[in-house]
Chains A and B, each alone.
Chain A
Amino acid sequence: MRIIPFLISTVATVGLVYLLNTPLPVGNTKTPRLGYFLSPQQGFWQNAEASNASFSGDVKLEGLKGKVDVFVDERLVPHIYAQTDLDAYYVQGYIHAKFRLWQMEFQTYVAAGRLSEITGPDKLPIDLFFRRLGMVYGAEQTMQRMEKDHEMQATVDAYAEGVNAYIKSLKPEQIPFEYKLMDYKPEAWTPLKTYLFLMYMSYDLTGSGAKQDLKMSNAKNYLGYEDFNQLFPNVQDSLDPIIPKGTAFAKPSIIPVAPKGIDSPYLNKAANSSSAESPLTPNRNNGSNNWAVSGSKTVSGRPILCNDPHLGLNLPSLWYEIQINTPTHNTYGASFPGSPSVIIGFNDSIAWGVTNAGRDVLDYYEMKFKDTTMQEYWYNGEWKKADLRMETIKVKGKPDVTEFIAITEIGPVMYDHHYKSDSANPKNLAVRWTANKAGTGLKTFYKLNRAKNIDDYKAAIADWSCPGQNFAFASKSGHIAIKQQGSFVARWNRQGDFIMPGIDSAYQWQGMIPESENPMIVDPKRGWISSANQKATDSTYPYYLGIARNFPLYRGIMINKRLAAMNDITPIDMQYLQNENYDVFAEMARPVLLKNIDDSKLTTNEKKYVDILRDWNFRNEITAEGATVFNAVWDSLEQVVWKDDFQNAKSPMPWPDASTLLESLLKDNNYRYADNKNTPNKVETMQDDVMEAVRRASVYLGELEKDRKLNWGSVKDTKVTHLSQVPALSRLHIPIGGGRNCVNATTSAHGPSWRMIVHMTDETEAYGVYPGGQSGNPGSKFYDNFIDSWAAGKYYKLLILSKENAAKNEKMKWHISFTNG
């Protein structure tokens, strides 16, 4: 033995193995363990799926009662044929995990405030935010309630068992790519994770209030209530509500009354502001379109239902197509990986689709605690005991962080001296949020999957509590309907728009609106129903719907205008409408802009852009330069009008909405906010402001033109981002038109996440597409193969087949047989 060479080479071997087995810092991130990651027998190479891979197989599972056949079609959509419902959900769990395991788990890590566990301390602010908002608490509440409902509990349990059966079958080298990249392993699935995922959807669709109420309180205090009321009004002149104007509403069974002396503690300037800034907020464009036309307006004489939910665009997609066939139902649609049943879809009798109601169901109350131990709070003239909840957050590579959350009668105290509150003057803000109350979870979707007619539909949605949705409906028997359903607070005017005093019950919710008084229409004379997140009703509805800012106006106007003009409708017409890039907002705003532009005072360059604007046809097409010019001028105008008015704001607050500015300009040529406060010797008019906006926009547009990026597609630059934000796993620069105020509401990272059209003919004719692919594996050709079709406005025909027909259909490429064993 040659001691010295032996020692040197041994130390070198051990050292190199250690180095290659350790994540190495590169810039802000860390590499995977390179030796492991690149090892062909264990690492990422194992996830490189052959382009001609077969998905057929025989799977033996312990928990199954009978045989289950799954036919997988050429787009990798599974069609599940089971003899019992529980077997079907068991296999749905297995299949979801087989194709989307990493995503399913990652989403629940986000919802549960556990991101730091896998990514390290960078994500701790997001974890803290979700924990303090009561996400885990809320999921537990729903789970406890659902445990009393045996049918639903069995469903969620069967699904979890299916997921776990798949996880158990995985050999170490077979775990999904992202686990290897981020260096962790899948853990067991639990029913709580399904409820956590649903909490995340509640957050995404109703959580904007978590930030908005604070910012609105700040804006109200900064501006004073009167000015605030002008800049953030609750009147929308151009509103075309979901329930047609003039529809009569029943007398309210609750008449909420504002507390006496409301001016001082609530609307007063000094009341309740907050410096808190949340680390994230749901996208304001989260919304959707749905509509259904009755047989009187279609060529076939049968209804057509359409739905396209607008959400953040991610890979792997939020949605996963599936058909579930059992003796009780035969249903096709988009499901959530992480949850049993179909969420948006159709069966052999009916079709349904959802849009977000946008109603305010999250309020803040300022609480008074005896001391910083937060054990007792003052409520209705006495000290009450708070529950203290401890939440431990594991942080990768760092010690655990423990959060103390005081739970009051009102809800969890989100902001206090532990979290983001001004330490000199700590405010204790408790959250009251319907999502934190025990909900019925999935029951509505479970029942919709099985609904046969309009009565089943009404019964299915009656218990739906959060997030409030507009449920559109169409049946083969010829009915159409829409109902805004959720657990909604019976509010007095402006209740909950700002932080409310929480020392007694005066500002508490006075009741929930009975489900039977929620806005609904069935088979309206006009022959269609529609919703696009606008206000559900006009002002004759007896309850306060919440701040107008929550309700975008323009897509609804466009959809109703088009549907009113259409007759002899076919599914192709509906496809065009879902992809409509016409911008109603621009149509209303351009005349106001042009009216205030004096061509004689423009430079040649500015004149060129104004001419482009003048010649534009209001379509946000990829090639449209007019769309770019319009948006640049409008954004500049907002800067010119508002910047000086908000320049002294010390706490976070929003500027007024585009619709508010537009409606003010349409009404009032001498808009007082046009004046620039920084020029004491001059009073600017709207003409001055628009001219200034054109000047500023022209500078920006000039730069774009130099880079040859003046077309709208380049400016908007749509992308579908991987959930981990890694660019190499994302699809960037997708050629698609549209915009926030178009029916095709595609913006930069947000848009129609699932487009579906269902024609209720005897043999259902359905089309769908989503910007993703059925496989969650970045190493599969099915990872993002729908994106190009989606961008081009193309659809796939959706196959809802009986088992015999599926077995002989040529589009079925693979067959997985599940048996007990």
Chain B
Amino acid sequence: MKFITALFLTAFLAFAIGLFTSLPWWTFVFTSFLVAMGVHQKAGLAFLSGFFGLFILWVVLALLKDLPNEHLLSMKVARILPLGGSYWALILITGLIGGLVSGLAATAGCTARKK
């Protein structure tokens, strides 16, 4: 249950702070950090809830843009980056990047807590 709560809170707070688009894209490291500090979990689980909170958020947000766009832009970007034009690979990498940063921040938050 704690895992689900942490994951949901991580995603929700990252989304909310992300609405302030003049802040840097990585501002969610603070919310992920705080969530992991507040919701007591083992470091491994804290990493995973932090990771999947952002992974799921970013994949969903990317899909919400990509599907109505019929992959027009994602296929172009997936040739620039270069991912062989695969929009799935691009969506996956988007999720991984958000997830990794958030997971590490959550680990830091978890370990910042008093034992």
Contact = CB atoms under 8 A, between A and B. Distances in A.
Contact of B108 (A13, A34, A36, A177): A13
A821 interface: no
Given A1-B111, A1-B114, A41-B19, A50 B79 contact: no
A41 B62 CA distance: 9
A47 B73 contact: yes
Contact of A2 (B22, B77, B105, B111): B111
B26 A35 contact: yes
Interface in B40-94: 43, 58, 61-62, 64-66, 68-70, 72-74, 76-77, 79-81, 90, 93-94
A45 B97 contact: no
A50 B104 contact: no
Given A35-B101, A44-B73, A10 B25 contact: no
Contacts of B43: 5
Nearest to B57: A40
Contacts of A10: 108
Nearest to A781: B72
A51 B68 contact: yes
Contacts of B93: 38
A49 interface: yes
Interface of B is mostly: helix
B97 A13 contact: no
A31 B101 contact: no
A35 B79 contact: no
Interface in A23-79: 31, 34-36, 38-53
Given A5-B43, A16-B104, A48-B66, A41 B73 contact: no
22 contacts: A1-B111, A2-B115, A6-B111, A9-B108, A12-B107, A13-B107, A21-B25, A36-B24, A39-B58, A41-B25, A44-B73, A47-B73, A48-B66, A48-B69, A48-B72, A50-B68, A50-B69, A51-B72, A172-B22, A729-B80, A778-B73, A779-B72
A21 B26 contact: yes
Given A2-B111, A6-B111, A48-B69, A727 B79 contact: yes
A171 interface: yes
Contact of B112 (A6, A12, A17, A41): A6
Contacts, number: 126
Given A38-B90, A53-B68, A779-B72, 11 more contacts: A1-B111, A1-B112, A5-B107, A13-B105, A17-B26, A35-B101, A39-B18, A44-B77, A45-B61, A177-B73, A728-B77
A9 B25 contact: no
Nearest to A177: B73
B73 A779 contact: yes
Interface of A: 1-2, 5-6, 9-10, 12-13, 16-17, 20-21, 31, 34-36, 38-53, 171-173, 177, 181, 726-729, 778-781
Nearest to B114: A1
B19 to A, nearest CB: 7
B26 A40 contact: no
Given A42-B21, A48-B69, A728-B76, A31 B81 contact: yes
A38 B94 contact: yes
Given A40-B58, A728-B79, A35 B97 contact: yes
A233 B23 CA distance: 65
Interface of B: 15, 18-19, 21-22, 24-26, 29, 43, 58, 61-62, 64-66, 68-70, 72-74, 76-77, 79-81, 90, 93-94, 97-98, 100-101, 104-105, 107-108, 111-115
B101 to A, nearest CB: 6
Contacts of A5: 43, 107, 111
B45 to A, nearest CB: 14
Given A13-B101, A35-B25, A181 B80 contact: yes
B25 A39 contact: yes
B81 A41 contact: no
A726 B68 CA distance: 24
Nearest to B68: A50
A17 B73 contact: no
Contacts of B97: 20, 34-35, 38
Contacts of B105: 9, 13
B10 to A, nearest CB: 14
A445 B98 CA distance: 51
Contacts of B15: 41
Nearest to B104: A13
A41 B108 contact: no
Contact of B21 (A34, A172, A778, A781): A172
